[in-house]
Each structure stands twice: as structure tokens, then as C-alpha cells.
Amino acid sequence: MSNGIPLPEALARYRPDAELGPLPEPGDIDTLLNTYHPDHLRDSVVKLTVGANAGDPCQRELADLLQAEAFIDEADLAGTPVADVDVLVIGGGGAGCAAALAAAENGARVLLATKLRLGDSNTVMAEGGIQAAIEPDDSVQRHIQDTLRGGHHAANPALVSAMTGDGPEVLRWLIDQGMQFEQTSSGDLHTRRAGGMSTARLVHCRDYTGLEMMRVLREAVIQHRSIEVCEQSPAVELLSNEVGQKCVGAVLTSMLDGRLRIVRTRSVILATGGLGRLHLNGFPTSNHLGATGDGLVLAYRIGARLCDLDSFQYHPTGLLHPSHLAGKLVTEGVRAAGALLVNGLGNRFIDELQPRDVVCAAILRECGEGRGIRIDEQRVGVWLDTPRLEQAQPGMLEKQFPNLMARTHVAGVDPRREPLLVHPTLHYQNGGAVIDVNGATTVPGLYAVGEVAGGIHGRNRIMGNALLEIISFGRRAGAAATANRDRGPKKVTLEHVNRLRRALTLAGLPMTQRTPRVLPAYAAGGAWNR
Amino acid sequence: MSITTHEKGRPAALTVNGLAIEASTDMTLVEAAWHGGVPRITNIGCMEGVCGSCRVMLRRGKEVSVGLACQTFVEDGIEVVFMPPASVPQHHYDIGDLKDGWDIHARFHKIFHEAARCRHCHGCVAACPKGIKVEDGVAQAAAGRYREAGETFFECIMCELCDAACPELIAPAHVGLFSRRVTAHFHLRPPNLIHRLEELRQARTATPQDKKDDE
């Protein structure tokens, strides 16, 4: 991708008040996606050989992690301290907190274990907002239609219906927990329309929606008497019963001293988030440091069915510059507010409010066909025309997008005066563990909520459904996991690990790699290159 | 580092957790730590200054300060120590227990009884990486002005550096969050949401038969 218009030339051509030509004919969307979306890159997808999804397509780098050796053995469990709780939640983001709170509300003793710090998650970075059909001209039915259409009709309608139906109640619960939202002068919740929505449905708290949600949920969890929080404690393996058919706990380790700890429980809720930090297909990512797909690995090894493992969301507007923010997002809210995408020739090339996969593919097309703006040999992008937005609505960037302004200010960049250079960035795992409307996976005793779960967004998630999903299914799973009145495990084993080992050996697959990954190599003492 | 005047970083020497490393001035301290292969740093999160995890203590000559590693660029000679995670909060309340908005002021002072004792040492303000006027926020909350206090703390990212800096153990970050939470909990009653909730409730009670079929 070394072609493109050199930066100085593109800058000379750029003017915030230039007359923009009409949008070119959109052309065939499917052809655009098939040609330019990273999911369709050649050699990016392989077929899984072992496990519940044997024969299914899966992204290559993810397949290597799913079909790999575990960290621990039965021998490691001898003499390891054991804790007993009603519900174990793995993951301390929005989904994990919602699940823990719901379980505790229903009377469970909960242990919430998280790899990093409580609240350290992708939730905290979500800027745009949360979808809920609350406007008079809107309905749950329209929300369902938009979600299904945005996901190319690959989502499970039962899950979509459950989530969208929960929308208004989720907002009420969040407000009860103490979350604030933007209001109109008459006190209504302010809504915006974003990509893939047929009407305004995005409720938000300026561009800090995820931060506001996370700090409130984090505080609620910390303050709850029945929830114990265990930070810096990644799960390295799940535990199964004697026949390896049921999840009865997990093994945690400590990032500080590496010591193991067994947790026995009736129900485990996986809320481990996504896998952006695996940098699939070499893309930068918007994700936080812990997003290494641990939950998928643990769930797959114990036999849970996964889905859509070849479908990922590349957010159209990742920052290309400044370089320490490479891959970090400019929220879609900026486009929803009216910012346009402009190529190196100074032309628009796509309706900015098309679903994310379409806009992403269109940007990659511009870059691939030489109409991008080139900073250096590696980096090509397109303009996100923020100065034009500022001219049309003076003061709006400062007022509505303080987070964007603060982040760019640190690096001496002012989006009011200069356009932002953007390029698609790995953002979201569309698929994940197959769940029912209560978040239950195909393995008894194991639940999955949030990004680690699949089937809700089909093959493309529309903005604002992630924050809705984590609360909706988090609360559903928390309640269902507590209702599981099973007397608890008699024996905890690693039978499922042995089963996968046998399968790997029979299939002749290498067992050199141990998973889950826990941290990306560059943060765990490996080589790092910007 | 505007894109129009694209500068390159200059080489710089610094220490991270006592380890001397070489890095470049266009790297953040997080990038520098990775670049230098500093082991066992486990409190890095979002890398864009919103999660508050990567708290560092910084020394430049004789001047000592705190900040976020992902928001601080490398300087020649700077000494950086990644701080351990914050200890568990000492102020306990359950928002569900707060039933009556009229006694909220009394409840606040019972929960955060140190908040009235601010001695204006400015430690919290100096520590805040987001430039929040922490002292003002605490004073507003102590005076019962929770909406204003919550607005003051709007940019709070939960790093809790102000809590660590406070000699009176006020826990300003939690005072701020309390203020924001009670404001929403007691006062956010949006008509459009309430109307839709009522519609959905009526639809549920009107068609109990359909509901049964669903299940």
C-alpha cells in the first residue's frame, strides 16, 4: 500500500470550505465488501480441525489460539488453595460488572476476577452511546430490524429481540445505579442517529458514555457487600466435572506473583471481552491491553460452541496520527454529528452513515486504489473533515466531543483546525460463544456475556448496541446463573483439557503454544515496534 | 506534533522502575517501558487516558509529581515509577439504601465525614491528570450541591490519584462519583423514557396470553 497522495500535496489541496462534489454512485455493496473488507483477505480464514466447531471457518490467528495446549495440568492443582462461591464472574468490564451486580441482587455470593484493574476494559473507551428505542417515532420492532439489517441478517433473532426489548429497562437500571445521560431542554434523554439506524436512538453522555457507565458500575460493584473483587487475576483455565461435560469453576493466577487459585462454583460467567490485541491481519486496534481473546480460548477448550469466528469489525475511523494513538478511535458520533470523509483528491466517496463494515471497506478501497493520503511507506489514510464540521457548527467539537479534544490536545493536534487522518482499525469481535437469551453457553454451568458472546450482532455490529448488549445480557446471565440451584461440584477436574489434548494429538496439530494469551507479547517482555 | 509540522522524536535516556532505558521523546512512557523491555508492568489499560490504570510517579530533578504513563511523553532524564493499584475504598454506601432525597445531605456527611475537613492543601488538584478542580468539587459536595460537584468531576477517570494525595483521607474521587450518582438516581426522570417504559408495561399486561406463548 505504498501508493497514495503524499501528505504535503494532500494538505495543499485540502480546504475546509471547498465545494465537495456529489457522492459517487454507491455501486454494489456486496462486491465492495468482498473485495475490500479485511474478513475477505486471502488466507485470513482457515477451517478448525478439532473441538465443537470442527470444520467451521475461523480467522487464522484465532484458530491457532483455540487449537493449542493449556497452561496447567492436574499436577498443578494439587495443594492449590480453593475458594467456594455461588457465582464466579471472569472479567471486570461493563458486562462483568452488570452480571456480578445482577447475581448479587438475586442473593448470590459473587467473586469477580479480572485480569487487569476493575473497570479496565473496552467499555470505558466506548464514546458514542447506547441504543434504546425510546423516541415517539421509534419502536423495539424498528430497533430489531436495524440490528438484523446491520448484521447482514446473520444474527440470532431471539437474542436481538431480547436485547432490544430490554433497552428502555436497561436505561432505567443504569439511571438507578447513578449513570447520567445527556438531556434536552425539556428533560428528555437526548438521542442521536448513527450509522445503520433508521431513526435517532443513540442515548449518550457527551462522548464519555462508556466512561460514565464504567465508573458508575465499578463503584456499584466495589460498594456491594456480596461481591468480592479479585484484580490482576486472569483465569488460565476452566474446571469441569469428572466427565468434562460441565463447568464447575476456574483456575485463576496472579499477575503479581504467578500463584494459582482454584475457585469452585455453581456457575461461571465469562465476560472477558474481545481480541483486538491479537492484531488480526496486522491491523492496529482500538482495544485496551487485555483484549486477547482469553474467554474464547477457555470456552472452546471446555467444549462450548462458538459462532462467526471469521467475522470481525474494523472500525472505519481509527487515528493514523499522532502515532501514539495509532488505531485509537474517533467516535462514530463525530460522523453522526455531520463530519464527512474526504479522500486525498478532496472528494467524498461514501455515505458516512452506512454501516461500519461498508464505510471501512470504502476507506480501504480509496487507500488501495491510490486516492488515500500517504504519511510514509506504511501509513495511508483518508481525511475525517472535522474543521468543516466546526465551521458549520462553531464550538460543537469542544462541547460535544471533549474526550476527542482532550486526547488530541495531549499530542498538540487541534481537530478544529486540521482534519484528522483516519484508517480502519480492528475494533470488535462480531462472533463468539453461542448463547441463549439467558447468556447460557452450550456447556452447562458456563455463561458468556458481552463481546465474548456471539450471535447478537450477526456479521456487523451497529453503533450503540455493544453498551446495550453488555447490560442486557449481563443482567440476564447474572440472574440465570444465580437461579442455577445445582448443589455445586463434587469434584473439579481438567478432564476437558485432556480431551482436547487427545484430539490435538490425533489431528497431528502442534502443541507448542500455550493459551490463553493473557497479554500481547509486546506487553509481556517481548519485542515492541510502533 | 501537528500533522502539518510533523516532528520526529529525539533520543532520550530515562529510568522506569529503576531500570535505565533509552527511548524517544515522541513515545509515551508506556511505549518507552515496552521499548526498553521493562518487566512486570501490569497496570496498563486503555492507552488513551480514560481508564486511569497506568498511574506513575515522576521525578524531574528535585520535582516529584504523579501522572498517567499513557499521557506523558518521554523526557530526557525523567525517572518513572509505575505505582501499585489503589487500595480498596474506605467509604461504604449502597445507592439502593438511599431512599429519601431529603436526607441525602446528612447521609453524605455520615458516609464521607472527612469531606468537611478539607484544609485546602491543593494536593488533589496537583495530582489530578485531568485538571479537575478537585477541591472545589469536594467543597460543592460538602455544601450539598451534588449536581455542581458532579459536573466539576465530569472528566474523572477513576485513577484515584487524588485519593492517594489527600492527607485528610477524604477520597475526593469517590465524593465526585457519589455526587454524580445521587444526581442521576434522584433527579434524572426523562419523560420520553418513562413514556416508553409505561407503554411496554401496558403491552405486557394487556397480552398475558402472548407472553405465555413466548415462554
Residue B109: predicted pLDDT: 97
Contact B95/B31 with Cβ under 8 angstroms?
no
Cell readout for B32 is 518507552
- At A462, the amino acid letter reads I
User: Is A134 within the bounds of a domain?
Assistant: no
Same domain, A9 and A102: no
- At A398, the amino acid letter reads E
Same domain, A434 and A422: no
Residue A311: predicted pLDDT: 95
Percent of chain A exceeding pLDDT 90 equals: 82
* Rounded Cα gap, residues A416 and A397, in angstroms: 7
Residue A528: predicted pLDDT: 72
- Average the pLDDT over B114-143 and give the result: 97
Same domain, A360 and A455: no
Interface of B with A in 133-192 (CB under 8 A): 150, 154-158, 174, 177, 180-185, 188-192
A216 and B181 in contact by Cβ < 8 A?
yes
User: Is A507 within the bounds of a domain?
Assistant: no
Same domain, A260 and A409: no
* Rounded Cα gap, residues A152 and A263, in angstroms: 40
How many residues are listed for chain A in this entry? Answer: 530
* Residue A335 bears catalytic tag: yes
pLDDT (tens digit per residue) in A16-34: 988 888 888 888 999 999 9
Interface of A with B in 356-385 (CB under 8 A): 375
Considering only CB atoms, which chain B residues are within 8 Å of A176?
95, 185
Pick from A326, A336, A393: which is nearest to A359 by CA? A336
Chain A: give the shortest CA distance to residue B83, in Å.
Answer: 13
* Residue A487 bears catalytic tag: no
Chain A CB within 8 Å of residue B37 CB: yes
- Average the pLDDT over B86-106 and give the result: 91
Same domain, A302 and A321: no
User: Is A293 within the bounds of a domain?
Assistant: yes
User: Is A436 within the bounds of a domain?
Assistant: yes
pLDDT (tens digit per residue) in A490-512: 789 999 999 999 999 999 999 99
Same domain, A112 and A13: no
Same domain, A273 and A408: no
pLDDT (tens digit per residue) in A461-494: 999 999 999 999 999 999 999 998 777 667 899 9
- Average the pLDDT over A181-197 and give the result: 94
Phi, psi of A259 (to 5 degrees): -75, 145
A136 and B37 in contact by Cβ < 8 A?
no
Residue A26: predicted pLDDT: 82
Chain A CB within 8 Å of residue B19 CB: no
pLDDT (tens digit per residue) in B135-192: 999 999 999 999 999 999 999 999 999 999 999 999 999 999 999 999 999 999 999 9
- pLDDT of B206 > 90? The answer is no
Same domain, A215 and A82: yes
Residue A305: predicted pLDDT: 98
Same domain, A104 and A210: yes
Give the CATH number of the domain where residue A404 resides.
3.90.700.10
* Rounded Cα gap, residues A160 and A138, in angstroms: 16
Chain B CB within 8 Å of residue A324 CB: yes
| Residue in A114, A115, A124 to test binding to B, most B beta-carbons within 10 Å | A124
Same domain, A307 and A318: no
Contact A420/A341 with Cβ under 8 angstroms?
no
Q: Which of B53, B177, B191 sits opposite A117 (nearest CB)?
A: B53
CA nearest B26 in A: which residue? A324
Which domains occur in chain B, in start order? 11-82 (3.10.20.30), 95-191 (1.10.1060.10)
pLDDT bucket at B215, cuts 50 / 70 / 90: very low
Give CA separation, A482 vs A89, A471, A475, A487, in Å: 11, 16, 11, 12
Last residue of one domain, picked from the residues A402, A426, A450:
A426
Same domain, A393 and A272: no
User: Is A164 within the bounds of a domain?
Assistant: no
Chain B CB within 8 Å of residue A175 CB: yes
Last residue of one domain, picked from the residues A466, A481, A496:
A481
Pick from A259, A240, A253, A246: which is nearest to A74 by CA? A240
Q: Which of A206, A223, A412 sits opposite B1 (nearest CB)?
A: A412
Cβ atoms within 10 Å, residue B194: 16
Give CA separation, B44 vs B14, B53, B85, B106, in Å: 19, 6, 11, 38
Q: In what order do the strands lie in the sheet with A130-131?
A: A130-131, A202-203, A191-192
A413 and B2 in contact by Cβ < 8 A?
yes
Q: Which domain holds residue A271?
A: 74-124+204-311+430-481
User: Is A501 within the bounds of a domain?
Assistant: no
User: Is A68 within the bounds of a domain?
Assistant: no
- pLDDT of A527 > 80? The answer is no
- pLDDT of A1 > 50? The answer is no
Give the CATH number of the domain where residue A446 resides.
3.50.50.60
CA nearest B92 in A: which residue? A223
Q: Decide if the complex's ipTM is over 0.90.
A: yes
To the question of pTM greater than 0.90 for the whole model, the response is yes
Q: Which of B42, B94, B197 sits opposite A255 (nearest CB)?
A: B42
* Rounded Cα gap, residues A316 and A359, in angstroms: 6
Mean per-residue pLDDT over chain A, rounded? 94
Same domain, A96 and A212: yes
Last residue of one domain, picked from the residues A407, A426, A445:
A426
A11 and B2 in contact by Cβ < 8 A?
no
Chain A CB within 8 Å of residue B63 CB: no
User: Is A222 within the bounds of a domain?
Assistant: yes
How many structural domains compose chain A?
Answer: 2
pLDDT bucket at A174, cuts 50 / 70 / 90: very high
Percent of chain A exceeding pLDDT 70 equals: 99
Interface of A with B in 214-253 (CB under 8 A): 214-216, 218-220, 222-225, 231-232
